[in-house]
Amino acid sequence: MIDPSRIRVALGREPVDLLCRYGNRHGLIAGATGTGKTVTLQVLAEGFAARGVPVFMA
């Protein structure tokens, strides 16, 4: 079931959620090669889109 107030961005010993109220038009995903930047962006885009938020990535 989708929780409309948060997007799950990581699983592990402790799940990590992004509270949707902190999402805005600007963001930065930074890290070294192979650290999951693209996957993180995909998860965020799918999560916001599932909640009816228009998503544009360039």
Report d(CA 16, CA 7) in Å as an integer. 9
Beta carbons within 10 angstroms of residue 15's beta carbon: 10
Which sequence spans correspond to the domains of the chain?
Answer: 6-50
Report d(CA 5, CA 41) in Å as an integer. 18
Which of the four pLDDT bands, split at 50, 70 and 90, describes residue 12?
A: confident
Answering whether pTM is above 0.85, one says: no
* pLDDT for residue 7 is more than 70: yes
* pLDDT for residue 56 is more than 90: no
* pLDDT per residue as tens digits for the range 18-51: 998 888 888 899 999 999 999 999 999 999 999 8
